[in-house]
Structure 1
Amino acid sequence: MSGFNIPSIPIIYEDNHLLIVVKPPNMPTQADDSLDLDLLTALKEDIKQRYSKPGSVYLGLVHRLDRPVGGAMVFAKTSKAASRLSESIRSRDFGKCYFAVIHGTPKKAQDKLVHYLVKDTKTNMVTAVDKKHPEAKEAILEYEILAHHNDLSLVHIKLHTGRSHQIRVQFATIGNPLFGDQRYGAHVNQVGQQIALWSAELSFEHPTLKERVTFHSIPPTTAFPWNVWEENKYLKS
């Protein structure tokens, strides 16, 4: 694979243990059935070329973003970092915040949403169910409405759990599906619209320095619907 063209992937931070990048929207996090170039493979090849590394490159995938979602992602460059980051995620000490644009306006300007989700692996669809469902997994997030424009709302989200499609399903469940979400908001979105969900902040204890570090990524404010709020203080670096 050496020598193939690697797409430009912005690097937010890099040291001997960590690589934090901006995942391009619509790029798979890891290899899937589409056979499209995925972020993990591209970054491994990038490291191999930049540092002239022989053989295979280690890069640990410790969390994921849905294919249509862009924004900050952290990868581990050592097995020690991968282990410690994974433990941070399991213990819910790993902070993840997002920006999203949703249809309509929730009843509360800020709130905590708690749902119980089940994933159908055959259809790759997630559904909110009763907590007594034998396969239900608790999903928790907090949100704050930052601004409004027509029938759209800009939302800041703090994720407490990392369930599959969690943000998309929870907002659809309360009647405010994400702009552009074809899977959980097909009745209000048009085919071809880009989902407005962005990984905006990652916060965790550095695996070797033992100090808390925080990294930010801002959505592309030249594209709709992000450009509606390009002057909003929250969408500035």
Structure 2
Amino acid sequence: MKEFTIGKNDAGQRLDRWLGKAVPLLPAPLAQKYIRLKRVKVNGRGSQRDVRLQTGDLLQLYINDEFFDTPTEDNAFLSIFQPQLDIVYEDEHLLVCNKRPGLLCHADEHEYVSTLITHIQAYLYQKKEWSPRWENAFAPALCNRIDRNTGGLVIAAKTAEALRIMNDKIKGREISKFYLAAVVGKMNPPQGELRGFLLKDEVKKQVTVYRKPVPGGKSAATRYRTLAVQGGLSLVECELLTGRTHQIRAQFAAAGHPLAGDGKYGRRSDNQRTERKGQALWSYKLTFDFPTPAGCLEHLHGRTLTVPPEQIDFVREWFPGTAV
């Protein structure tokens, strides 16, 4: 419990608005709930949220200590009242979420509260499976990431052991990652591999594809097969043979078939025609194939997790009924 005495500068404010300033990490809906439950007392009594505070009022707040911390990226999860997650798989060591387009995986210079990792941490905190006050050395973390406007499967580790093992499996290419993409035009041949060397411009946050090795460039390979052709677009399944930044987006654009809606690598005329904002790309399938020991994650060996195509907006809209 913490006590506050209202001074001249705070007098005249509504109780709920004062509470929002005094405890910035406390989500507004939870603050309203605490007022209703009389966990916020004014002069020893419960009060209404719209009461005007007076100089000298004594406020007693029966609120967890962590909500009084200074807001930072590390404790931003406390501001999430109702985590918004589409959980495809979960066990005691990890969970796999189907991330919606538009949601960042991690914080950037513009957003650090509403990200996938903060929603995951809020979810586990509210389930009482994790608290930063229990673990000084570990916090739930993402094992892979996808672009903001790309949807799909992201793996999150709930334990340090799972994070270490999963990172090793990803590095050792013991997890196969498959994407669905809507690309402009018709692929010729309808299936094959795109290979090249990707060089990233750190300032523009963009990569360029080269046919031959270049200083600083990294090899990239994507296997693809065409599933359907409709209305000047092709639905292709892509398997990442390497995992480079913007690999699928850059390689298909370099091949003359940019992803529909891709504002960075696509053509304006194509994007205006499809009227889509954000690249039509979804990480829809993960296959776990562990030829080496996997410890606490051994039960995942041989398992495949998928997002049904009918749940992917551009597949449902442009290629209805397509079998994958």
Query: What RMSD, in angstroms, separates the aligned Cα atoms of the two structures?
Result: 2.0
SS at match of 1:73: strand
Q: Post-superposition shift, 1:132?
A: 2.7
- Whether 1:110 and 2:199 are equivalent positions in the alignment is no
User: Which residue of structure 2 lines up, in the alignment, with residue 91 of structure 1?
Assistant: 172
SS at match of 2:156: strand
Counterparts of residues 1-237 of structure 1 (less than 5 Å): 1=25, 2=78, 4-35=80-111, 37-51=114-128, 53-55=130-132, 58-187=139-268, 188-190=270-272, 193-204=277-288, 205=290, 207-210=295-298, 211-219=301-309, 221=311, 223-224=313-314, 226-234=316-324
What stretches of structure 2 of length at least 5 have no aligned partner? Answer: 1-24, 26-77
Q: Post-superposition shift, 1:133?
A: 0.9
Aligned 8 A contact 1:72 1:199 in 2: yes
Rounded Cα–Cα distance in structure 1 between residues aligned with 2:158 and 2:320: 34
Q: Post-superposition shift, 1:54?
A: 3.6
**1:84/1:178 CA distance change after superposition, 3 Å:** same
Aligned 8 A contact 1:71 1:218 in 2: no
SS at match of 1:208: helix
Rounded Cα–Cα distance in structure 1 between residues aligned with 2:238 and 2:147: 16
Tell me the TM-score normalized by structure 2: 0.67
Q: Post-superposition shift, 1:27?
A: 0.5
Please say which of residues 218-227 and 192-201 is displaced more in the overlay. 218-227
Please say which of residues 163-172 and 182-191 is displaced more in the overlay. 182-191
Q: Higher RCO, 1 or 2 (CA under 8 Å, sep at least 6)?
A: 1
Aligned 8 A contact 1:111 1:143 in 2: yes
Aligned 8 A contact 2:260 2:276 in 1: no
Rounded Cα–Cα distance in structure 1 between residues aligned with 2:174 and 2:131: 35
Q: Post-superposition shift, 1:60?
A: 2.2
Q: Post-superposition shift, 1:82?
A: 1.1
Q: Post-superposition shift, 1:224?
A: 4.3
Rounded Cα–Cα distance in structure 2 between residues aligned with 1:25 and 1:230: 20
SS at match of 1:189: helix
SS at match of 1:16: coil
Percent identity over the alignment is 34
Higher strand share: 1
SS at match of 2:122: helix
Higher helix share: 2
For these two proteins, the number of residue pairs brought into alignment is 234
Aligned 8 A contact 2:282 2:312 in 1: no
Tell me the TM-score normalized by structure 1: 0.91
SS at match of 2:296: coil
Q: Post-superposition shift, 1:207?
A: 4.9
Aligned 8 A contact 1:221 1:229 in 2: no
Which amino acid counterpart does residue 210 of structure 2 have in structure 1? V
Q: Post-superposition shift, 1:214?
A: 1.5
Which amino acid counterpart does residue 158 of structure 1 have in structure 2? E
Please say which of residues 50-59 and 74-83 is displaced more in the overlay. 50-59
Q: Post-superposition shift, 1:51?
A: 2.3
